[in-house]
Structure formats: structure tokens, C-alpha cells
Chain A
């Protein structure tokens, strides 16, 4: 900080860096200057006039949101003239504001309400007829009630600057001005709902939450979104054991302000009518509902039988389960069932990256590095579609730090709008090498790569990074909320927890499916037989734990209904290796968390696989999985603990051919997405990858 500027705010001596805005300097010293249009991180408007303050030597009141601090400045934020100005501004604002607080969704958490309580007049002198226009529905998830709008333009800015979508603008003028969507009467956008979250009043409301309840009637549960691997924190509003909304009220997560449509709305799959409510056992060729005791007994007995007979048991883990569940599953499988055949749907070649980075420190990027790096290179990923939060970080980096973005993709992506250079090619490594001279110029670089770079190509990419002579960090993109955790926990036939080679190398998922001798297949939250595939082994005993009757479950002998991420606790690891805790939002009947199911089966089989309980399992993970010895208080307080980079060679590298991303877009999310009616309802918008 070059020489700080000294000023006085409300009689308090304050120091601030030159160029700091008065409103920020005041905030840093604990003085809150009210404002509607000012929003940290977005461009300045000075439109609401709420932040007018008295500054000595200025003849008029000054807008604190655009006035940079100056040496010797004396500011009075609560001077009588400033308070009077706020009171009158609020009086003006309320003239055409409908005052329908009792029915407004924002009532109770409305910035205008708060402001009027603090500065407003008790009564209105406005006795004229208010200007009214009817409410409009812009999309299945966004409604706009123009009379409530105070025209602070936050939504316009968050959509333009934050999301890079620019779907909102202003039409008409004067008191008749309105926010208008890009298609005139409806929105064609990411449907992220950031505009709703950022709206200080109830002008923009959520199609899901509208008129459901009031803010104080809900419990607010901050947990981690269960869709993509970015690991955004979403705050679930729970009332009567039902999630009524998701938003970003708790902006303490790694995602800060950000949430996409999945984190905000796509929790509705949990109450889909096809959700499994009861365990089922196949009798006479048909799945029949049975009690938990009966189902568990059936599974345990059969597993014990096959184990005793030395039959091959295949285990397919989940990319949505918690770390505890994945760890317990592989441990139970390897030690309890004595089978090496463990796998899951792999979507990024993390082991190859860890192997290639052996001996390097600080070479794995976090979500934060994408915001601070001087340059970002995106290889084979449509970041805005597949990893919306990482894309948001990159955009914020460009906006706030003028970072240089480079893309090497097979088609147009949104990042190109602000990219220094964009290359379209399917030969990713060649494309990357062509950017060498440009990349060298920057102080540091983060390379984000998708499943187009796997196996040996990962090593070549790292070698290219080394050749640049600047610090380079990497992100290997994976698909789902705990895809990364599943690998770290050793749900791989070749590797155990912490990328230690497995004692015995087992079969991969395709090998299990093709095996004639497979005696049993235990599928936990996965759908390896999607699309009506059949197992080569006709006699295999198939057990499926899932939320829905998937294609695999339809072929199962026993189906056990499991809990979703919003209905259980545990930890998950995001794409950049940040461990965060799930917080149980609601109680369920019928289904059980996977960990509890494992425990029941283990007990019924008389196998001691340790306590099937989150804290106990996580303690074991901390001790035995490399990189997971993270501070518990960070997790306990809802923070993200960085899994310490695993530093060392991976002696056995899994087959890269099995690495394949599902290529989900903003509006798809594997099988969960199929059961989310909200995601299905907004498909009109850019629901395809590489369309820019």
C-alpha cells in the first residue's frame, strides 16, 4: 500500500489506501453507509442517492460510493442534512412502490424495509395514484414485478459483469423505466437466479419460492450443492421438512456470491414422485416392497454365501456419495467382502496429474487461484456450462485484476468473450503449445483441463507448463459433487485410498460387466447399466442403492432406497480438492444414507468394518488418506479445508481410456438432472456445450 490517506469519518480517524472509495473506507472502519445501487465487485452507478454524506469543504452532499478518499477529508455520514436527504429519497422511492410487504416474498429480508425502518418517515405524503404495471413471468424461475423495482441496476450488472450473459437491460425512461429481459417478454439465459438474489427488494422473485412462506418461517441450512464438482455452498430454506428454496444467504462458502441454477433450484429431485420410498426385493421376477430388515438380511446372506464360495463381487461406487461413504465402501469391500473389484464412473484423470506433479509443491490450483492468477488457460472445457463457478471466478479475475484468459477448445465457449486468445482445435496439446510465447509473458498461470487431456497427455501438459518458466498450477476437471473424493478415497480397481496401489488389482466397471463369472454386483449411487445394458454374467446377484429406479436398478435383485446429499451429513471434496461438510437439511422416511446401509449390511454379515458413523470414518480418513489430515474446526464451522496436495509418484496409473466426462451442461446433471423438473423446464436456453 503506497502512503495511506488519512481522513476522519464520523469523528473517527481512518486510514485507507489511495483511490479507495469513501463507502469502502467507511466499511473497513466499521461505519456502514447505506446504499442500494452500490454493490461490492460490480461497476459503480451512484443512482440511488442513499449514500449521500456530508463532506467538509464540499458545497453539496457527496455520493460516498463514487467519491475517492482524500487526505484530510472530514466526513459525517449521519449529519442531519444527510439523514434528511435519505429520508426524502426513501419518500420518493416509496411513491410508486406498492407497499405490499405482507404478500411480498422479500418482506422480512428486504433492504428497502430495513432502510425505511432506519431512515424513513412514519407516514407518506403521497396521496396520488401509484403507477402500476402487472407482474411478468420471464422464465420458469424468474418473475419480475416492476412496481416494486427501485431501479438500482444490480441485476443488470450481475448478469452482465458477473455472469457474462447480459440478459437484462432497461427500457422506457423516467418513472416508467423497467428492467427488461433479452427476449423482450422472456429470458434466454443461464437461469442462475443471481438477479433474484442480488435484488434488494422483491422485484425479482423466484418461480419456485414465490408465495410459499416467509423468510423467518424457514430454517436456513448451509450445505454443499450435490450437482457439479465445483462445491458451491447453497443455503436451503427448510420448512416443515421440505426444502422451499435454495439461495446464497450464507455467502461464506468458497463460491461467495455465486450460485447457478442447480444450486439455487435443482433440489426438487428429492421430492420427485418416482423417488424410492421402500427397499425392494425381486420375487418371481418382480421387485416387491419389503421391510428394511428383510432386504438387508437378503443382501447380507447372499454376499456371505458368495464370499464363502469365492465368487467375484463387483462394487460400483458413487460420485455423489460422501467421502465417508466412499471410504467405508471400499474398505468394507476390500476387507469385509474380500473383493478387489471396485470402481466408479471416472470423469477426469486426477491420478495422472498427481503423478505428473510429483515433487512439485503448490502445483494444484484452488478455486481462489482462478480469481488471483494473472493468466488462466482453459483446455477442452466449456467452463461456463460445465463448471459455472470456476467460470465465474475467471470472469471476476478478468474484471477485477485484468487477468489474461486463453482457451483451447473444440468449439466456441463463453470465456472467449474476454479471452486474450482463443484456439479451436481437437488437438488440444498442439493448441496449447501454440500459446507458449503468449503464456510466458505472465507472472503466473492456472491451467484448467477437461477429459480431453488424460493419460500420457497429462504428463506432456505438465512438461509444457514446466517449459514456460513461470509458476503454473493445474485443475483437472471432474464431473460431479464428489467425483474427486471418490478417487481420493480409492474407489478404483488399481488404487486404494490416497492413490496407494491396491494390494490386488481388480476389475474395472466395463470388465465387471463383461465378466462371465461375476457373482454379484453391488451398485451404490451409480448407473453402469444405463441404456439397458446387460451384465455378461446372467447369474450375478445385483444390489442397487439409489434414489430412483435407474436402468441398473430395474435389473437388480435388491434395491435399497438411499438418501440424497441434502438429507445426510458427511464431507465432499470438490474439483479443486477443497473438502467441505454437508449439513443435513431435512429428515426423511423410507430411505437411508448410504453409510447407514453399509453399516447395516456389515452388521448383518457379522463383518467388523469399523463404526459406520461419519465422525469415526472421517477420523480414519484423516489418518490414512494422504492429504486429508485437515483441521477439523475449519470443516466444523462450515469452511472449506484444502486437501493438502498429494505429493509423490502414483506407482500404478489407471487406464486413461476409462476417463470420460458425461458432458453435462448448465441444465443437465446426470441422473439427478433427469429427475429435476426445474432443470427440465428451462431447457430452451443455451443447453448445449461449445455454443459460446
Chain B
């Protein structure tokens, strides 16, 4: 059983099989509309499938929110090269835990989504790139894939349609960087997981230099219902430029954390207070990370907004991967900033200078600030260094480290100041001199 019960306010679509007994098995799946969408898609034309996905306003669920239909449309289908499907199941964004549920409780939905995508672009090979830490999910996925092969939903001549599609799992070695699509492809090819120069984008030149559809688990999982019920139906669930539902992973200082399915545009405060059971008694909301640790944090008074791409962008943050971290007034924001930067420092691949050196430097300063031996200029320095990383790194990891840091320092500066070194600086003595001694 998933660790939280469904909440009445949820709009249950993608998670509808989560609570069925033995939900991961193909029998359960087939008994509950399983592979119906795939069956339908196998008889549809490639353009029809892509158009349906375009109509649905489905946007990538991995974090960047790129329109999926458009991405699929970029694949040069007339190219003589083979096309590939790659599932990004390297769910590593702190605060995000939705893909694991999809794979654990409904793995066949993912296989079905891949099959439809494969049909849409004429791919005959796919890989599910699962992060190494999800050891148990690899077994579940492998089992589901074996079942699908046995039932001829994978393999040669799928369901007698003449369409071939092979799918297998591939294990990462535990690098956050490999969640970035081009680094994932490098890793998939057996190389060091470092991002590639883009363009060309994977749709044109992805795995093994061939056109590749690379989407998040949740994105692929959304496709079967779009094919089954139509793109217009899916689009109508969300807001004008982003259709459908998505899984919110609410964690942190709430009474009943969990994964909840809501339509895009669902009010944030309702998600926190109703679904996640609100804050602990006597506590007040301090800050929210709305979509995984790489998003700028929102202060409590900024949180009264609908969870859609545009509203969050207007508030200076991002919808991201749906990993909401709720922080109440017991949270030490200096420690929070340090924890976040520690993660990115540990995960920085080292490819480009600003991210490689910047994250380590930030970690060192924040550690000092947290230890109470920082000086006033450190606070500005943290903000400035993060700004210097922003937009100048090779891949988005640098931005992911910089954005939350900048927002925390800006919005919770008072907390940093309260933690400065208790050293009296005599007038006229430069702080940098003092710093050496502390």
C-alpha cells in the first residue's frame, strides 16, 4: 500500500490503480483498462497520436515543464536512424517521490506509455533509466516488463499489429546529475554521467546519436489516459496552458505527508491544509519549496496561489517536479540553505567551473555561518556567489543550487544576521581581518 490514503479532494486519474490489491501485476492491470490505450494507439496514425498529446497540453513532469507533444513532434520520423524511447526514472530531486509510486504500484502504465510513444515516433527500442538507489523498483520493473513480453505487449509483432518494441531497464549509479537528460544519455551509453552540449537536443540526437524521446516517468504515465479519453478531456482538467493532473509530493512539517494527485492549478494552501493535514498544532507556516529543492523558496505570505506554471513563475518560483517541502516556524533557514547547498555540492559533476567551485565555496561559507562564526560580509558573499553561478553553468544544476540559495538569503536575511560571529569589530578594522582570526 502507498503510504498515504487517497484524499477526497484529489482528482484521481494517474494514481487510480495504486490502491488495488496486487496492483503491479499485469492481471490487475488488464482487468482495469490496462493496455486499452496502447491497443487503440497501435491502430492510430503517428500524427494522430502526437496531435492528441499536443491537444492535451501535457507538459513534462520532470521539472522543466516542456510541452510533451511538441517534443515528440521534433523527432525527425523520416530519419533513417533508429529512434529510441528513454524513460527518465532517475528521480533524485530532493522532496520528490512520485515516480517511485508509479513504478511500484502501476509499472504497466509506464510500459503502456512507452509503447504509445514508441508507436508515435516509430521507435523499436526503449530503456527505463532507474536510479541505482531504487534497487527494489528495478526488480518490480523487470518483472512487469517480463510479464508484458509474455503477454506480447512488448517484443516482436506486438498484439499482431506488426509493430516491434523492446524495453529494458538500465541502472544508474546514483548521481543526481544523471537526471539531466543529456547526462542520463551519456550514462546510458556507458560513459561518465556528464551533460552534453545542447543543441542538438535528444529529440534529434539522443541515445547513440539517434532521435530519442526522453521523458519523465509521470509524463509517460499520463499518456495512456490521454489516448483513451482524448487530449481535449485531459486539457480541460488543468489550466489553459497546462493540462491534466499531477502528483504532488508533500513532505516536511505537515501532519500527514504523502503523494496526492491534483489538477494543475490546485491552490497550494488547500493542498497543505486539507490533503496534507495542515501544520503541527501551534506551528505557523514559514516557507515552502514548491517543486523540489532546486526551486526558489516561497515565504508563507507568498503561498496563497494556484499551483500552475504561470502563477508560480509570477511568484518567482517554479512548479518543478511536484516535490513540495513545507517548513514551519521551527525551521532554521540557515541550516536549510546549508542542507540544500550540501546536496548540490555533493552532486555537482565537476564539468564546469562555476558550479564545481561555487557550490563548494558556498558550502564552506554556509557551514561557517551555521556554526556562528560567520561575519556580516559573508551573507552578501553567499548571495553574490550564487548570483555569479546563475545562468553561467553548463547545465541547470548550477541554477538549481543558486536559485534556492539566493531566495533564502534574500527572504530570511534576518536569520542569517542573528547567527553572525559574536566578535566585536573595532571601528576602522576591516571585517576580512577579523575573519581570519575567527
Residues from chain A with Cβ under 8 Å of B350 in the complex = 151, 170, 172-177
Residues from chain A with Cβ under 8 Å of B15 in the complex = none
Residues from chain A with Cβ under 8 Å of B351 in the complex = 45, 47, 151
B354–A174 contact, CB under 8 A? no
- Interchain residue pairs with CB less than 8 A apart (28): A47-B351, A47-B352, A47-B394, A49-B352, A49-B394, A61-B392, A85-B388, A85-B392, A88-B354, A89-B353, A89-B354, A89-B392, A92-B354, A92-B361, A93-B353, A93-B357, A95-B361, A96-B360, A125-B381, A126-B361, A151-B356, A173-B349, A173-B350, A174-B346, A175-B348, A175-B359, A176-B350, A177-B356
Kindly state whether residue B365 has any CB partner on chain A within 8 Å: yes
A49–B353 contact, CB under 8 A? yes
B435–A127 contact, CB under 8 A? yes
Kindly state whether residue A429 has any CB partner on chain B within 8 Å: no
Kindly state whether residue B211 has any CB partner on chain A within 8 Å: no
* Cβ of B387 to closest chain A Cβ, rounded Å: 9
Kindly state whether residue B432 has any CB partner on chain A within 8 Å: yes
**Whose C-beta in chain B lies nearest to the C-beta of A48?**
B353
A174–B361 contact, CB under 8 A? no
Residues from chain B with Cβ under 8 Å of A170 in the complex = 192, 350
* Cβ of B126 to closest chain A Cβ, rounded Å: 28
**Whose C-beta in chain B lies nearest to the C-beta of A153?**
B351
Residues from chain A with Cβ under 8 Å of B175 in the complex = 173
Residues from chain A with Cβ under 8 Å of B392 in the complex = 49, 52, 60-61, 85, 88-89
Kindly state whether residue A150 has any CB partner on chain B within 8 Å: yes
* Cβ of A257 to closest chain B Cβ, rounded Å: 23
Residue with the greatest number of chain A CB neighbours at <10 A, chosen from B346, B348, B351, B365: B351
Kindly state whether residue A44 has any CB partner on chain B within 8 Å: yes
B381–A174 contact, CB under 8 A? no
B391–A174 contact, CB under 8 A? no
**Whose C-beta in chain B lies nearest to the C-beta of A88?**
B388
A46–B360 contact, CB under 8 A? no
Kindly state whether residue B283 has any CB partner on chain A within 8 Å: no
B354–A128 contact, CB under 8 A? no
Kindly state whether residue A661 has any CB partner on chain B within 8 Å: no
* Residues A613-636 near B (CB distance < 8 A): none
Since A46-B197, A128-B368, A174-B359 are in contact, a sample of 4 more A-B pairs with Cβ atoms closer than 8 Å, ordered by chain A residue number, is A174-B345, A175-B360, A177-B349, A177-B350
Q: A131–B360 Cα gap in the complex (Å)?
A: 10
Give the contact-size bracket for chain B.
Answer: 20 to 34
* Residues A123-151 near B (CB distance < 8 A): 125-129, 131, 150-151
Main secondary structure of the interface of A (DSSP, over half): loop
Residues from chain B with Cβ under 8 Å of A66 in the complex = 197
Kindly state whether residue B16 has any CB partner on chain A within 8 Å: no
Give the contact-size bracket for chain A.
Answer: 20 to 34
Partner-A contacts on B (CB < 8 A): 175, 177, 192, 197, 345-354, 356-361, 364-365, 368, 381, 385, 388, 391-394, 432, 435-436
Q: A66–B435 Cα gap in the complex (Å)?
A: 41
* Residues A69-102 near B (CB distance < 8 A): 85, 88-89, 91-93, 95-96
Residues from chain A with Cβ under 8 Å of B393 in the complex = 49
Residues from chain B with Cβ under 8 Å of A93 in the complex = 353, 357
Q: A45–B51 Cα gap in the complex (Å)?
A: 37
Residues from chain A with Cβ under 8 Å of B361 in the complex = 92, 95, 126, 128
**Of the candidates B347, B357, B435, which one forms a contact with A92 in the assembled complex, judged by CB atoms under 8 Å apart?**
B357
Residues from chain B with Cβ under 8 Å of A175 in the complex = 345, 348, 350, 356-357, 359-360
A95–B357 contact, CB under 8 A? yes
Residues from chain B with Cβ under 8 Å of A45 in the complex = 197, 351
Residues from chain A with Cβ under 8 Å of B360 in the complex = 95-96, 131, 174-175
A46–B364 contact, CB under 8 A? no
* Cβ of B182 to closest chain A Cβ, rounded Å: 12
| Proximity string of chain A (26-68) to chain B, C-beta cutoff 8 Å, 1 when within and 0 when not | 0000000000000000001111110010000000110000100
Q: A173–B391 Cα gap in the complex (Å)?
A: 21
Query: Given A46-B197, A177-B350, is A96 in contact with B394 using a C-beta cutoff of 8 Å?
Result: no
Residues from chain B with Cβ under 8 Å of A46 in the complex = 197, 352, 394
Residue with the greatest number of chain A CB neighbours at <10 A, chosen from B197, B347, B353: B353
A150–B353 contact, CB under 8 A? yes
| Proximity string of chain A (644-679) to chain B, C-beta cutoff 8 Å, 1 when within and 0 when not | 000000000000000000000000000000000000
* Cβ of A97 to closest chain B Cβ, rounded Å: 9
Query: Given A66-B197, A85-B392, A89-B392, is A174 in contact with B356 using a C-beta cutoff of 8 Å?
Result: yes
* Residues A166-181 near B (CB distance < 8 A): 169-170, 172-177
Q: A85–B389 Cα gap in the complex (Å)?
A: 9
* Cβ of A36 to closest chain B Cβ, rounded Å: 8
* Cβ of A117 to closest chain B Cβ, rounded Å: 18
Residues from chain A with Cβ under 8 Å of B346 in the complex = 174
- 8 tightest A-B contacts by CB? A177-B350, A92-B357, A88-B388, A174-B348, A128-B364, A175-B360, A60-B391, A174-B350
**Whose C-beta in chain B lies nearest to the C-beta of A61?**
B392
A174–B349 contact, CB under 8 A? yes
Q: A44–B359 Cα gap in the complex (Å)?
A: 24
* Cβ of A152 to closest chain B Cβ, rounded Å: 9
Residues from chain B with Cβ under 8 Å of A49 in the complex = 352-354, 392-394
**Whose C-beta in chain A lies nearest to the C-beta of B192?**
A170
Q: A48–B357 Cα gap in the complex (Å)?
A: 11
Residues from chain A with Cβ under 8 Å of B388 in the complex = 85, 88, 91-92
B197–A44 contact, CB under 8 A? yes
* Cβ of B305 to closest chain A Cβ, rounded Å: 24
Residues from chain A with Cβ under 8 Å of B359 in the complex = 174-175
Q: A61–B390 Cα gap in the complex (Å)?
A: 11
Residues from chain B with Cβ under 8 Å of A92 in the complex = 353-354, 356-358, 361, 388
Q: A151–B364 Cα gap in the complex (Å)?
A: 21
Query: Given A88-B388, A174-B359, is A47 in contact with B353 using a C-beta cutoff of 8 Å?
Result: yes
Q: A232–B327 Cα gap in the complex (Å)?
A: 67
Q: A44–B385 Cα gap in the complex (Å)?
A: 27
Q: A187–B394 Cα gap in the complex (Å)?
A: 30
Q: A174–B360 Cα gap in the complex (Å)?
A: 8
Q: A44–B394 Cα gap in the complex (Å)?
A: 12
Residues from chain B with Cβ under 8 Å of A127 in the complex = 432, 435-436
Residues from chain A with Cβ under 8 Å of B364 in the complex = 128-129
* Cβ of A154 to closest chain B Cβ, rounded Å: 14
Residue with the greatest number of chain B CB neighbours at <10 A, chosen from A92, A126, A150: A92
Residues from chain B with Cβ under 8 Å of A48 in the complex = 352-353
Residues from chain B with Cβ under 8 Å of A128 in the complex = 361, 364-365, 368
Q: A563–B365 Cα gap in the complex (Å)?
A: 62
Q: A173–B177 Cα gap in the complex (Å)?
A: 10
Residues from chain B with Cβ under 8 Å of A61 in the complex = 391-392
**Whose C-beta in chain B lies nearest to the C-beta of A126?**
B361
* Cβ of B367 to closest chain A Cβ, rounded Å: 9
**Whose C-beta in chain B lies nearest to the C-beta of A96?**
B357
* Cβ of A261 to closest chain B Cβ, rounded Å: 28
Q: A48–B358 Cα gap in the complex (Å)?
A: 13
* Cβ of A427 to closest chain B Cβ, rounded Å: 39
Q: A88–B385 Cα gap in the complex (Å)?
A: 8
**Whose C-beta in chain B lies nearest to the C-beta of A91?**
B388
**Whose C-beta in chain B lies nearest to the C-beta of A97?**
B357
* Cβ of B2 to closest chain A Cβ, rounded Å: 33
Q: A151–B392 Cα gap in the complex (Å)?
A: 17
Residues from chain A with Cβ under 8 Å of B354 in the complex = 49, 88-89, 92
**Whose C-beta in chain A lies nearest to the C-beta of B345?**
A174
Residues from chain A with Cβ under 8 Å of B365 in the complex = 128
Residues from chain B with Cβ under 8 Å of A131 in the complex = 360
Q: A127–B435 Cα gap in the complex (Å)?
A: 8
**Whose C-beta in chain A lies nearest to the C-beta of B388?**
A88
* Cβ of A183 to closest chain B Cβ, rounded Å: 18
* Cβ of B58 to closest chain A Cβ, rounded Å: 25
Q: A96–B363 Cα gap in the complex (Å)?
A: 14
Q: A47–B393 Cα gap in the complex (Å)?
A: 8
Q: A66–B197 Cα gap in the complex (Å)?
A: 8
Residues from chain B with Cβ under 8 Å of A173 in the complex = 175, 177, 347-350
Residues from chain A with Cβ under 8 Å of B348 in the complex = 173-175
Residues from chain A with Cβ under 8 Å of B345 in the complex = 174-175
